Chains A and B, each alone.
Chain A
Amino acid sequence: MASIIGKRIPKIDAKAKVTGRAVYAGDLKFPGMLYGKIVRCMEYAHARVLNLDTSEAQKFPGVVKVLSPEDVTQKKYSNWVIDLFYPKGFAELVGDVEDQSIFTKYVRHQGDAICGIIAKTEEIAEAAARLIKVEYEALPVYHTAAQARKEDAVQIDPGKPGNLAFQLPEQVFPGNTYGWGDAEALMKEADLVVEDTFYVPKVKQCQMENHTYISLYDDEGRMNCWTSTQMPKPVQTKISNLFEIPMSKVKINQTTIGGAFGVKLGMIMEPEACAMAMSVPGKHVMVSALREEDWVMSESRHPGEYSIKVGLKKDGTPVACTANFLTNGGGYYSHASGAPAVAGTWIIGMYKFQACNFKCQRYYTNQMNCGAYRGYGNPQSNFVLEQIIDRGLKKLDIDPVDWRKKWHKTTGDDGWMLGVPYSSCALDACLDQGAEAFGWVKKKEAYKTQTGTKRRGIGVAVMNHTSGAFPFLHEHSTCTVKLNEDASAEIITSASDLGTGAHTALQQIAAETLGFDMDKVHMKVGDSDAAGYDIGAHASRTIYVSGTAVLKACNDALDQILEKAAISLETDKEALEIIDLKVCVKTDPDTFISVEQICYEGVNAFIDGATGQRIGVPGQIQGYSSHYAEHNSPPFGACFVEVEVDTQTGEVKVIEVVSSHDIGKAIHPPSVEGQLEGGVQQGLGMALTEETYYNEQGLCVNGNFTDYQMFGPSDMPVCKSILVEEPDPIGPYGAKSCGESGLVAPTGAAGNAIYDAVGIQFTGAPITPEKILKAIKEFGLDSDAILPFGYGCKDGGIPNLK
């Protein structure tokens, strides 16, 4: 049978999506369903609620209930889920706190939930929400870590003095530092030291589906949730913990996910939806967020001051690197002990420095909370590391592609998680093939001397990422493969598909392993009652970890087929092999029993009345796997960007992007390309156009798709994706990850291309036309000017103030 791995087949969910029949949470209707509206604080970023008057709303016709903070559980929670996977005692060690309330009397950032309304229609709920009267006492607003750590600042969380939410704990990381060697001491051995402080922006995931959640507290006392969460099983645990009900009484129905990119990595509005449902047992309650609410209440990428220092020898030999990420974390703890620290691992994992040290500090501030966004710290680090490297290489007159080929870490070297060596690395091939497709050498020559007002520039960046979060988190996935009596199969799993094509690829893995046709395999997903554990979609893990669970469960099913066949054929299992859905005796292929017969007789084995003998071997086959990954097979990638800068307007046109990716093996190539192409859109956006801006009061001023500037169709360059396939020894069929990677290197490569074009390095993202024009006017083209932190922003200390 021809292999289905690597085939460009249509995705299994494509037809439902092109016909509009795919069901998202907001498309669900239940008889008698009620509508919840969360009343949010939209006018303050830091305030105490002095008085909440719900009386007028209570009286509004059609309102069923109004829930104040006192009417729901007083238990605090943290909306992220990663704390669930820490080893026992680790959460205490790193200082994790649960600091969120379902409805709050203390507003830590704009969009905090004050109370909830349950009504017969959405319109009534919204009208009643306008009748809620809240009296606030305004508190000082802290945009940045620098403001929040001042001595006289209001302490946002009682357990966190100085508003320092997290830094690497001294007990595990001496000197609060991750890495190896004493980089600062080694700097003196370098011939060249380059250093600067960059600003990385507060960018937003911008998933197209507005947040919608439905909950039902049913007659069995079970909490049923319809949610597009990326992490159904952990969310089940979180809801169980928050409402103090057993996990067996929480059911997660995962709906089609209308984009996530990390924003749905924990709970979003599940707590409010469940609290509302609990107050009206037997009734479904739907809670949605308007887009303007989404912008302030869900999480963003971590922004902040990213300092970096790199020492190189004259010949380019990397000596030492130190980096410090001081991040403005937002109002709550969520992801504090995750993203800022993980950011540094991507620097640790990239180059062969003799010493490399990373520190981070995350402070409570009053802008929207920070959480998971595709890349989890990697895009920030890439923007910083790859640009400072190019600044050094320019001084040493070394080619950026050659240097990266020579000095990147590779197979066997210590990985991003020190102690876990790289299992495979095809970055050389990525650089070679990428440079060839991009025309690096030719373009470099052609753009050496340019005249005129438009300047072309080229930039390259490389990245390493991960396939799952081993060993930082337990990477656990289960899978059950149920074989039906017609030799078709259900693949029962809680693995998520955010639209990436993951379920298609998992089905391919199952079909390939079982030797079944694709249409004989069905993905049974999104039902927490049916499937066993799966940590969910994070850290680009689904194909690598869930895919291995699928593969192992299918192999278990095959093993059971062989066992039954051995009984039927009166031989040993080892003497058999499966060829084209027939279990044959190896030495005598004409003696066989079909897989279908084994499956059929497993279900329908009966006693022959004449002989009294059982026909067939009874027992329906169900393969099972509970798979813990023991590696993270990091993928590498290279990105090449060409820009054209109009030196009279500062406008940047991105001409071409080549992304070459070390995929190991592409199970479903169009999906891998799709991840890279989508990553380019988001990565270029982060480097050049995207940022959430705030006014001095801490209110978001561009929370909409017009003022928040993403790359549109006409802004997109020519995109070429190169899939480099050098199979990884561990991943299923050799596959490594691609979910987050595509976004990472475009950030650094775009920065380097601008640097190449105008001869000034911009340390603050996004690199807007205003900043470029100002710098050209002030310092001149090719001046190699060093720009101060926050250059070109309204307030240099608060780069996202408008």
Chain B
Amino acid sequence: MKTCDITLFVNKENYSMTIPVNRTLLQVLRDDLGLMGTKYGCGTGECGSCTVLMDDKPILACLTLAALASREKIITIEGLEEDGILHPVQEAFIEKNAVQCGFCTPGMIMKSTALLAKNSTPTEAEIKGYLEGNICRCTGYVKIIDAVQYASKQMNR
């Protein structure tokens, strides 16, 4: 397999590495950088468990070649917390009991964070629409939607 040199800018840190060209961002994050918060749920872009932010937009790490993410700003679930303070969306997921098995949670939180960054007061329908593509099998989405609404309120205070 051909290799390429990349520099990934993940959670405010630079990582230079040589990787096979077909390596996905998800593989690099999990296996090379040890960032295990980003989850593999389907590998085919259908469940959203691997959602991370690239240049502030949510992307599916399982379908993104790491080479194409070179030099882009990548934020994973591990990068949301700042100086030990959780992001308001993380706080909201705890407060509203929006977490069950937790496997979809990192992707769900990254997606919700992206939504609130571009629309700080989304309607319920907008939240639901935006979260399409992130599958949760535990919660029926009820408390997740609650949490996003709560985070929106907290962030606008």
Contact = CB atoms under 8 A, between A and B. Distances in A.
B10 interface: no
A131 to B, nearest CB: 16
A746 to B, nearest CB: 10
Given A208-B103, A499-B102, A705 B47 contact: yes
Contacts of A8: 97
Nearest to A504: B97
A18 B86 contact: yes
Interface stretch (A106-114, A392-400, A508-516, A708-716): A708-716
A714 B46 CA distance: 16
Interface bin, chain A: 35 or more
Interface string B15-48: 0000000000000001000111111111110110
A545 interface: no
A258 B104 CA distance: 8
B94 A677 contact: no
Which residue of A10, A20, A207, A670 has the most chain B CB atoms within 10 A of its CB atom? A20
Contact of A259 (B35, B106, B138): B138
Chief secondary structure at chain A's binding surface: loop
A290 B90 contact: no
B94 A15 contact: yes
B152 interface: no
A52 interface: no
Interface stretch (B53-61, B64-72, B125-133): B125-133
| Chain B interface main SS type | loop
Contact of A208 (B76, B81, B136): B136
B113 to A, nearest CB: 11
Given A678-B139, A713-B141, A713-B145, A19 B90 contact: yes
A27 interface: yes
Contact of B135 (A17, A27, A208): A208
Given A17-B105, A24-B103, A208-B103, A714 B138 contact: no
Interface in A3-23: 8, 10-11, 13-23
Interface in A676-712: 677-682, 704-706, 710-712
Contact of A18 (B109, B125, B137): B109
Contacts of A290: 43
A18 B101 contact: no
Most buried by B among A19, A498, A713: A713
A303 to B, nearest CB: 19
A758 interface: no
Given A14-B94, A18-B93, A258-B101, A23 B43 contact: no
Contact of B138 (A18, A24, A499): A499
Interface size class of B (residues with CB under 8 A): 35 or more
A712 B105 CA distance: 15
Given A207-B137, A290-B43, A704-B46, A712 B132 contact: yes
A500 B103 contact: no
Contacts of A710: 135, 137
A713 B132 contact: yes
A29 B36 CA distance: 10
A209 interface: yes
Given A209-B101, A258-B101, A680 B140 contact: yes
A311 interface: no
A719 B135 contact: no
A259 B138 CA distance: 7
B137 A206 contact: yes
B36 A23 contact: yes
14 contacts: A14-B94, A17-B105, A18-B99, A20-B37, A258-B102, A259-B100, A259-B137, A499-B103, A670-B143, A674-B139, A679-B140, A682-B137, A705-B47, A714-B128
Given A498-B101, A681-B139, A711-B140, 19 more contacts: A15-B94, A18-B99, A19-B80, A19-B81, A20-B38, A20-B78, A207-B137, A208-B49, A257-B101, A291-B42, A499-B99, A499-B138, A678-B138, A679-B140, A681-B141, A704-B42, A705-B47, A713-B131, A713-B132
Across the A-B interface, the 5 shortest Cβ-Cβ residue pairs? A20-B37, A499-B101, A17-B102, A258-B103, A670-B97
